[in-house]
Each structure stands twice: as structure tokens, then as C-alpha cells.
Amino acid sequence: MSLDRSYQASFNENNQEFVIAGKLRPRNEAEIRPLAEALDAALGKVRGTFYLNVKRLARLNNVAFRVITNLVSQVCDKRSDLRVEVVTSSVMGWSTRKFLPLASRLPNVSVNEYDQDFYPGQSYLEEGGFIPILRAQTKLTWTHERHVLPRHGLRPGMAMADVCCGIGDFAVLVQKEFSPASIIALDHSRTSLDYARKVAADFGVSNIEYVYGDASEMILEDSQFDFVTCRHSLQVFDKPELILKELYRICKPGGRVYVTNEKNSHCLGEPRADSIQWTYNEVARLWADYKMDIELGPKSRRFLIDAGFEDIKMDSFMVTNLDGDPQGFADIIQSWENVYAGEMARDRGDSPEFVAKFRQGFQDHIYAALHPKGYAGWPIWAASGRKPL
């Protein structure tokens, strides 16, 4: 029996998108006739632009490539009104290069490497300038999470994945404290991964694999991790349910997925509470304008249940100026101000008056953090769910 149906194909008429995922290495055309018939039928139904989505097609041999491209070529030759957009992903490595010659041959075919559309505001957060903030944040949150993680099921010897690992410092801390058997740490920022590899090398940590990948379309195989973490990241995506679907997929049955998220409007401080409150309410609105939900924290339970998880556990903790060096807390707030009231507010077109008031709230939060009698807080929700057996 040579037929290996390890691919999935589906057509969504609403967005005229034909999605092929998995592995497509048939011996002959007959083995993928159902796929060819479905693609042919889909091409016959559409007007305008047809999207051929191969973002999650990990493997493709030439037999299958020729079947797909022959069908597309035949339809494009007959229908000059039709546009075909092949959507590839840089995560797979080969697919853009493989499909580009099709666009060279046919004027109504284009090949687009999907990566940025899914992350509407993330470019503000993932470039190199944000690294000091991320380091400071992890340092402060770790004082809480090291106590929270065992309650959510993290144990020595587990196979773990840290999705959206950023600069990888959380993975290093977990490795030191909990000794998992292995950690695969995945992120979509090459800048962050380069930094993460350097940090791991500097600390002599060798059993963390840092890999480039798209959290919503991971190249990782199904059901292979006991514990999957995804911290401060669902809130960055406009479709968090897609990420959770992937986290669910790569988690072993009986394993757990652990997520942390914020509710920024609940950031607080004394003195100057009103100004601080106003600014963080505006932070939530700013993020929403960039299609990100910095208020997601308390919604984690619903998201996990809707994704199919059971035995949901929730914790919340307040990172404060009393967790360590108050200046570290103040530095985080300053870096938030720099990004939110800087580039993001400017690109949204905010007035100078608004930006001045917006900045004042951050400065008041810093004032509260450094005040000898002050208190400043940043609340975080940690949630986890078990994948059913």
C-alpha cells in the first residue's frame, strides 16, 4: 500500500481559497486524483481572484507540483479574467522558490510569501529595539511564574515547546529551573532568534532548539509535546484562535498548553492613579486600533475552552515595583511609552495634545514605581488547559 494520505485539502468558497497542507509526495497522478478533482472544481467556481494557499504544505514532490500547476495553467490559459494568487510561507523554505516560475510563465498568476499580514502591529514589538524591554519583563514576571508553572503541570523530563519565544530568555530560565528533557523554542522574528541563540551559547545551554516559524502555521508535527507555552502572544495576534488551534495540535493528548496575557487597562499606581488609569485605557484602545487585544488576559479561559481544552486552570499575578529593583519596573514603563506614545501613536495620527497626555500617564506610573511610598502594578493572567486523551 503506497498511498499515503498525509495531506489535507479544502476549499472555502467565501474567500475563494483552496488550502493544501501537510505532505504531498505521490508516486503518480492517480494517487492524488481526489485533490486534482477538488482543485479543478474549485477553480471552476471562482471569479476574480483565486487563492491557492500552500502555507502549510511542508513537502511537495514534482509529480504533485505538475498536477497542481497544470490545472492552474489550463484554467488561466482559458480565462484571462481570472487571477490566481499562490500564497506561500517563508517558514517552509522551498515553496516560494518552487512556485515563482509559475508566475513568470503566466501573467495572471502571482506568488506572495505570506508572513506579515497576520501580524498587524507586531513589527512594532519584535524588532531589535524591543529586546531590552523583553529581557526586563521576563526578569520580573519570572519571579511569579516560577511558582505558578508547577501548578499548571510543568515537570522535569517533559518535552516542551515555547511558541513565540521572543528572545528565548524564558526558555533558558525554564531549562535551569525545571530541567525539561528538551525545549523547542519557536519565533517569527529572526532578530530575536539570533539573539536567543547567542544568549543560549553564552550560558552554555545546549538542549534548546531555536527554530524560525509562524505560530499560526507551525512546521512542528502533531502531538509531540507534554507542555506548550505561549506567553504574552495571543494578545499580539488578531486571530488568537488560530494560534490556539496550532498549540492544541502540537500538544500530546493529556499534555497541557500554558498561556499568559495581560489586561493593560488594569495597570495601576499610586500616587497619580487617575492619570495612570487614563493612559492605560488609551493603551488598550491603541492596541485595538492595530487589531491586537492587550485586554485578552481574563478572556484566556474562554479561548482555551473554545479551542477544545479541558481542566482549565487560571492564575493572575501582579508584577509590581516591589518585586525587585523598582528601576527595572520603571524601565519597562519607559520603554512602553517609547513605543506606544512614539511610533504607534504617530502612525495612528494622534495629535500632539493627545500624545502629551498619553505620555504623562506613563511618567506618572514611573513616578509611582520610584516613589518611596508608591506602588505600581502590571497584572498578568496565566491560564492552561489539558488536551483531552
Shortest approach of another protein to residue 72 CB, angstroms?
A: 10
The correct pick among 11, 25, 278, 318 for binding another protein (CB under 8 A) is 25
Shortest approach of another protein to residue 163 CB, angstroms?
A: 13
Cα–Cα distance measured from residue 102 to residue 97, given in angstroms and rounded to the nearest whole number: 10
375 touching another protein, by CB under 8 A: no
* C-alpha torsion 146→148→149→150, nearest 10: 100
Site string for another protein, 179-218 (x = CB under 8 A): -----------x--x---x-----------xxxxx-----
Q: Which stretch binds another protein (CB under 8 A): 21-29, 121-129, 276-284, 357-365?
A: 21-29
Q: Which stretch binds another protein (CB under 8 A): 11-19, 84-92, 265-273, 323-331?
A: 84-92
Cα–Cα distance measured from residue 246 to residue 213, given in angstroms and rounded to the nearest whole number: 12
62 touching another protein, by CB under 8 A: yes
The correct pick among 35, 84, 91, 199 for binding another protein (CB under 8 A) is 91
**Do residues 83 and 106 make contact, with C-beta atoms less than 8 angstroms apart?**
no
The residue written with cell numbers 492564575 in the block is 315
Q: Which stretch binds another protein (CB under 8 A): 11-19, 54-62, 162-170, 323-331?
A: 54-62
Cα within 13 Å of Cα(381), Cβ side: 24
In the window 137-166, what residues touch another protein (CB under 8 A)? none
Cα–Cα distance measured from residue 118 to residue 241, given in angstroms and rounded to the nearest whole number: 12
Using DSSP, state whether 225 is helix, strand or coil. Answer: strand
* Intra-chain end-to-end CA distance of the chain, in Å: 29
Using DSSP, state whether 93 is helix, strand or coil. Answer: coil
**Do residues 120 and 238 make contact, with C-beta atoms less than 8 angstroms apart?**
yes
State the amino acid at position 205 in one-letter form: V
- Residue 33 CB coordination number (10 Å): 12
The correct pick among 34, 93, 254, 308 for binding another protein (CB under 8 A) is 93
Cα–Cα distance measured from residue 154 to residue 301, given in angstroms and rounded to the nearest whole number: 19
Shortest approach of another protein to residue 324 CB, angstroms?
A: 33
The correct pick among 63, 205, 318, 370 for binding another protein (CB under 8 A) is 63
Cβ proximity to another protein, 26 vs 379, nearer residue: 26
How many residues touch another protein under the rule CB under 8 A: the total is 37
C-alpha cell at 343: 511610533
Cβ proximity to another protein, 67 vs 268, nearer residue: 67
**Do residues 160 and 134 make contact, with C-beta atoms less than 8 angstroms apart?**
no
21 touching another protein, by CB under 8 A: no
Shortest approach of another protein to residue 176 CB, angstroms?
A: 22
C-alpha cell at 240: 488568537
In the window 97-136, what residues touch another protein (CB under 8 A)? 97-98, 101-102, 104-105
259 touching another protein, by CB under 8 A: no
Cα–Cα distance measured from residue 223 to residue 208, given in angstroms and rounded to the nearest whole number: 19
Cα–Cα distance measured from residue 17 to residue 55, given in angstroms and rounded to the nearest whole number: 12
Apex 364 CA angle, 361 and 367, nearest 5: 160
C-alpha cell at 95: 515553496
- Residues in a beta bridge with 100: none
Site string for another protein, 64-83 (x = CB under 8 A): -xx--xx--x----------
Shortest approach of another protein to residue 6 CB, angstroms?
A: 9
Structure letter (DSSP) for residue 29:
G
Shortest approach of another protein to residue 38 CB, angstroms?
A: 22
- Residue 116 CB coordination number (10 Å): 10
The correct pick among 92, 125, 215, 341 for binding another protein (CB under 8 A) is 92
Shortest approach of another protein to residue 101 CB, angstroms?
A: 5
Shortest approach of another protein to residue 196 CB, angstroms?
A: 11
C-alpha cell at 61: 514532490
23 touching another protein, by CB under 8 A: yes
Shortest approach of another protein to residue 378 CB, angstroms?
A: 33
Cβ proximity to another protein, 201 vs 288, nearer residue: 201
What is the contact surface with another protein in residues (CB under 8 A)? 2, 4, 23, 25, 27, 58-63, 65-66, 69-70, 73, 90-94, 97-98, 101-102, 104-105, 190, 193, 197, 209-213, 219-220
